[in-house]
Amino acid sequence: MTQKKGSLVCVGTGMQLAGQITVLAKSYIESADIVFTLVPEAYTERWLKKLNGDVRSLQGYYAQEGEVKNRRNTYDEMVTAILTEVRNGQNVVCALYGHPGVFACVSHLAIEQAKEEGYNAQMLPGVSAEACLWADLGIDPGSCGHQSYEASQFMFFEHKPDPSTHLLLWQIGIAGEHTLTQFNTCSDKLQVLVEHLLQWYPVDHKVVLYEAASLPTQAPRIERISLSLLPQAQLSGITTLLIPPSQTLTYNEAVLTKLGITAGDLG
């Protein structure tokens, strides 16, 4: 099949203004015909406009003040706006906050649709909130492993965490929200989450509320609280809950025996 002229590249701006964008992502932004952007603050958007003369924010597709709007409809409208320009033969870049493919369904939907219609479409990796979290907290996730879930998904489905690893719950600020019309949660829903977690963690287990810094002059939010206090915590749309291990790793003696080694051989 002959490749059509229009194209789409989804890139990430990183978590901090300008400093965490890759050289390759920046070059695509500079050479694009049109740049669609979805970033949380005006500083990054203004910086992007210095790189390209046609930068269009997607923020206006979200529900405006007093409006009730399902986010699925919002995302469909964003994808339509992006694909319209691709179909018009434009080389389009979609610049998204953080990593363009992590908790960012618009990029996945747009790339999938563009490819189905015969256009060249790709995603470039970016610096994510998770990458910043490990760096800011000084944790090597390889030391004992980690599990990662969207907070509401963790509540709605039969996920079973391993308390000997780190557990990340994303979008804790909307935990338990199922209508896709709200951008916040409430203490009652967070209490349900706490009670669910008590199956694996002590009530006084220390957890971390984390928010990556969005400006070089800011410090990340690293707030340690007892699990029991989560329903009273101040949360935002970018708050992540890190639950450190509450148990130590245990050896799998059956596998070690098959390998002909002992726990002592592992130091």
- Could you report the per-residue pLDDT of 203-235, keeping only the tens digit for each? 999 999 999 998 888 899 999 999 999 999 999
Judge whether residue 10 has pLDDT over 60: yes
79-82 contacts at long range (C-beta below 8 A, 24 or more positions apart): 79/106, 79/109, 79/110, 79/113, 81/36, 81/56, 82/8, 82/36, 82/106, 82/110
pLDDT value for 166: 98
**For residues 37-58, average pLDDT:** 93
* Residues 6 or more apart whose Cβ sits within 8 Å of residue 63: 69, 74, 181
pLDDT value for 1: 54
Q: Identify the active-site residue in 56, 71, 87, 221.
A: 71
Q: Identify the active-site residue in 28, 61, 97, 119.
A: 97
> Quick check: is 221 catalytic?
no
User: What is the residue whose two structure tokens read 């928010």?
Assistant: 211
Per-residue model confidence as pLDDT tens digits over 94-108: 999 999 999 999 999
Q: Give the domain 129-243 fold.
A: 3.30.950
> Quick check: is 75 catalytic?
yes
- 3-state SS, residue 24: helix
pLDDT value for 243: 98
pLDDT value for 202: 97
Q: Which amino acid is at 214?
A: S
Judge whether residue 31 has pLDDT over 70: yes
pLDDT value for 110: 98
Neighbours of 53 (CB within 10 A): 9
> Quick check: is 71 catalytic?
yes
Model confidence at 248, pLDDT cuts 50, 70, 90, reads: very high
pLDDT value for 63: 82
Model confidence at 196, pLDDT cuts 50, 70, 90, reads: very high
pLDDT value for 201: 98
pLDDT value for 111: 98
Closest among 198, 196, 224, 197 to 210, alpha carbons compared? 224
Per-residue model confidence as pLDDT tens digits over 230-245: 999 999 999 999 999 9
pLDDT value for 69: 87
Overall CATH class of domain 7-123: alpha beta
Judge whether residue 3 has pLDDT over 70: no
**Count of positions (residues) in the chain:** 267
**For residues 10-31, average pLDDT:** 94
* Residues 6 or more apart whose Cβ sits within 8 Å of residue 161: 147, 167, 197, 200, 243
Compute the distance between CA of residue 217 and CA of residue 213 in angstroms, rounded to an integer.
8
Task: Quickly list H helices, the chain.
Answer: 23-31, 42-51, 71-87, 105-116, 129-137, 151-156, 187-197, 253-259
Model confidence at 2, pLDDT cuts 50, 70, 90, reads: low
Per-residue model confidence as pLDDT tens digits over 116-153: 999 999 999 999 999 999 999 999 999 999 999 999 99
Give the residue extent of every domain in the chain: 7-123, 129-243
CA distances from 131 to 33, 102, 138, 177 (A): 30, 11, 11, 26
Q: Identify the active-site residue in 28, 75, 119, 210.
A: 75
